[in-house]
Structure 1
C-alpha cells in the first residue's frame, strides 16, 4: 500500500546506495514519554519497511516509563494486543556516527492497518494542530533548546550521582562553571562527535554552552520553518547525545532535576507564526507596540497553562525543577527579555519576533509540547485573550495575583489534565486518555514505593 506517512521507496534505495557499509538500522517509534521504542533491523529488511511498513503491537504506545503495560489505556488486552503498522517518517533515515558495525536510524509513526493515523501516537496530535493552523493561513516555525547533564557512570560515596569527569583529561569540577568556555574544552572530544553525528543526520545543531549547574550543558538548534521537523530534531538530538556520551564513558542525563541544590534542565520552545507568504504575524508594525496577535497568543498560552502542566512536567521529578530563582518559571507570567517568567519575548529583529515558552522540562515529549502550545495559541487568537500586565524585573517576586490555580504538584497536575476539555482537544481524545492513564499508573507506582528517604526520615525516629 502507499505509505500514509508520505515516505517513498526511493528514499530507502538512495540511502542503501549511498551507505553500502551500513549493516543495520534502528527503527524508532517515540511514545508519549519521549522514549524510543522499536527494533533494530538488518540492512536487507529496510526496503520492505518502506514498501509495506512494519507491524508493531498496539500496546507499544501504552507503556509506562518502565516499559510495562498500562491496561487502563485500552491499548493492551482491550484490543487483544494486535499489531498495527508503523511507517517511516520522510527525511529521518540517517546514518549513526561512530557505530561499529555501521548502523542507521529512521523515525517511525503508527497507523491503523487501513492507513488511518493511530491517534495515541504523539506525532499525529502535532500534525492535527499544524493542519488547524494551516486552515488559518499560518505556518508555525520554531526550535527547541536542549539542556542536559553529563554525569559520571559511578556514584559518589553516598550513592548520589555526580558530574562527569572531563573526557579529555579526567579533570573533575564541582563548580557551576556557567558560560565558561575553558570548561567546555574538557568535553571537546565528546562534543566533536556530537557535532559530527549531527552533520550526518542533517540536524541544525549550533551553540554549546556550559549551563547553570555542575555538569550541565545546553545545545541549541537552528530555527525550522516546519515545527514538526523542529520536534523531530529534538528527538533525534537527544538520542544522539545519549549515544555519544555512552561511547565516551559518561551518562547523558535528561532528568528535569538530578541535583536538588542546582538548576534543572528545561526544553524551551521558541515559536513564531509566519503566514503562508512568510510574513510573521507576531512582528510589530509600530516600534514599541506589540502586535495584538502576539499578545493574544500569549493570553491563550497563559490561560491554558495550568491545565496543560502535565504535558510540560510529566514526571514526579519534573516538579522539583520549579524552584524560585532557578530559571524555571513559577507562575503563568510573561515578560520581555526576562528569564524569570513563563513566556519570554526575546529582544531582537522584529521580523523574528517570537515567544519563548519556558515551562517544559527536558524530560517531556517535544511533539506533545508543540501540539499543546499551538492549541493554546489558537485559543488566544480565536478568543482575543489578554495576557495581563507584563512582568518586569524579578518575576519570582513581582508576580501579579493570578486567576485560577496552577497545580502545585504532580498529582494535582494529573487531576487537572484529566478534567481538561482544552487538553483533550489539544491532544485528541485518544492520546489524552492514553497519556493521563499512563501518568496515573506512574503516580501510583511512585506513591507506593518505600524510598531511601523514608528510611532516612522515619526508620529510627517514629
Structure 2
C-alpha cells in the first residue's frame, strides 16, 4: 500500500481526535450498506492490510439472507475476500459525533476487482465509454416518504405528525412550501450532513403525496462518484430521520392509492474536450442524443429487473401515477420513461424516469450507460417522440411483473457484453432465490380471498 494512501488516514485521525469508531461500508447487490464497526486504533491497519468480508455479502437478498442459489454461501464455504478502503471516502459522521465512515471495495487475491460488486460493474462500463473518449455527467434524484416509526407488523405506515399542528397530513401538494416549512429542521439537517460529507444535495421539494419528498443531487462528471453520493445520501436521510423520531422509507409503492418513490437519473455525455455531445443547434438536441435514446430503449426490457428489483416495485407502475408504464420517450414530457428536459446547449440531457427508489444506483447507471453506448455504436433512430399523454400509448414490450422482468434479464443480449456473463448469472441467481423465498409466504390477503370461497 503506498504511503500517500496511508497518510489519508493519519491526517484524518489527526484532524478528528474525538472520533472513536468507524463504520466500514460495503454496498451489496441491493445497495444496502453492509459493514463492520471498528475502533479508532484499527483504522491504520485497515489502510495497510485491508479487512476480510465474506463474498456472500453479494449473495444477500434485501432482508440480509444469503441466497444459496448464487453459489456464494455454503457451496463455496462462505469464503472471506479482502476489502480495502476507497480513497477519498473517509468522512466524519455528522449525526454521530464520535463516529466516522469509510467505503470499501472487494478485491480478488490477485488484486483484480471482485466480479460480484455492482460498483465494479459500473467502473467497467465507464472504462468502455472512455475508450471512445467519452465520460458521463450524472445526477440522481431520489424520492422518499417520511412516516411514523410506530406501526403494527404487516400494516401500512402512517404519515408523520406535523410538528406545527400535531395532526397527520392527509393530502400532499406538489412543490408545497408549507410542507417544506413543516419539516424545515429535518431537511436542514440533511443539507448540512450532506455538505459536511461533500455530497452535493442541492434541492429538496415536496412531492404529490402527504409526507413525500424528493432530494436532488447536483450533477458530477463521474458516474461512480454520482452513485456513491446516491448511496450515502440514502444513509444520511435515514439517519437524520431517526434523529428526528421519524422514519424515511424508500419502498417503491408503500400506499396503493398514492404515488410511488422513484429514482430519476439525469445524464449527458462529454467528449475529451468537455463538450456535451447531446447538444445541437436547437432544443431538439443532436443526432447523438436520439441514438442514445434508442440505445437506452434497446436495453429497457432486459434491464427492468434492475430498474424494479423487488416484488413491491411493480405496484408502482400504474397509469396516471407519474411512474412510466412503457418504453416511450419525448421532449419536456413527464409521462414518458425517457424525458428530454426543456433545455438546450450544454444543459441538454436525458432524464430516465423508470426506476424505483429501491434500485441499486450502480447497476441502474451501468445499464443506462451500456444502452447509451450501444445506441451510439449502432446509430439507430428512435420512433417519433410522444406528445401528450404517454399513458395512452399501447406498449407490450416492457415487462411489468417481477417474474417477466427476470425472464427478460436472463435472455438479455446487450447487458452481458457490458456487465460480464458471470455477474449477470450471479444477479439472476440472487433474484431467483429472492423470488422463491418471497413467493413461499402465504399473505393474509390470500386467506381473505380463498379460505372460504374455493
TM-score, shorter chain, exceeding 0.5:
yes
Distance 1:208 1:304 in 2: 31
1:144 partnered with 2:136: no
- Evaluate the alpha carbon distance shift between residue 317 and residue 158 of structure 1 in structure 2; reply closer, same or farther with a 3 A threshold: closer
From 78, 82, 90, the equivalent of 2:87 is 90
The residue correspondences of 1:30-429 to structure 2 (distance < 5 A) are 30-99=27-96, 102-155=98-151, 159-167=155-163, 170-284=166-280, 286-397=281-392, 399=393, 405-429=397-421
CA contact (8 A) 1:335 1:392 kept: yes
Gaps of 5+ in 2: none
SS at match of 2:263: coil
Gaps of 5+ in 1: none
TM-score by structure 2 length? Answer: 0.96
Distance 1:98 1:340 in 2: 38
CA contact (8 A) 1:167 1:248 kept: no
Return the offset for 1:157: 11
Return the offset for 1:287: 2.1
Distance 2:147 2:283 in 1: 44
Distance 2:154 2:282 in 1: 56
Distance 1:34 1:131 in 2: 21
The residue correspondences of 1:15-34 to structure 2 (distance < 5 A) are 15-34=12-31
What root-mean-square deviation, in Å, do the aligned CA atoms of Structure 1 and Structure 2 show? 1.7
- Evaluate the alpha carbon distance shift between residue 319 and residue 104 of structure 1 in structure 2; reply closer, same or farther with a 3 A threshold: same
CA contact (8 A) 1:156 1:162 kept: no
CA contact (8 A) 2:283 2:343 kept: no
- Evaluate the alpha carbon distance shift between residue 193 and residue 288 of structure 1 in structure 2; reply closer, same or farther with a 3 A threshold: closer
CA contact (8 A) 1:167 1:190 kept: no
CA contact (8 A) 1:171 1:186 kept: no
CA contact (8 A) 2:24 2:102 kept: yes
Distance 1:157 1:68 in 2: 19
CA contact (8 A) 2:134 2:269 kept: yes
Return the offset for 1:424: 2.0
CA contact (8 A) 1:168 1:189 kept: no
CA contact (8 A) 1:372 1:423 kept: yes
Distance 2:188 2:222 in 1: 27
1:451 partnered with 2:430: no
- Evaluate the alpha carbon distance shift between residue 277 and residue 213 of structure 1 in structure 2; reply closer, same or farther with a 3 A threshold: same
Distance 1:167 1:117 in 2: 48
Q: Deviations over 1:289-342 (max 9, x none)?
A: 531100000001111101110000000000011011111111011100100000
Q: Deviations over 1:193-247 (max 9, x none)?
A: 1112111101111111110111110001111011111000000000000011111
Distance 1:108 1:180 in 2: 39
Distance 1:149 1:21 in 2: 34
Distance 1:2 1:439 in 2: 39
Distance 2:103 2:428 in 1: 24
Distance 2:117 2:155 in 1: 37
CA contact (8 A) 2:262 2:355 kept: yes
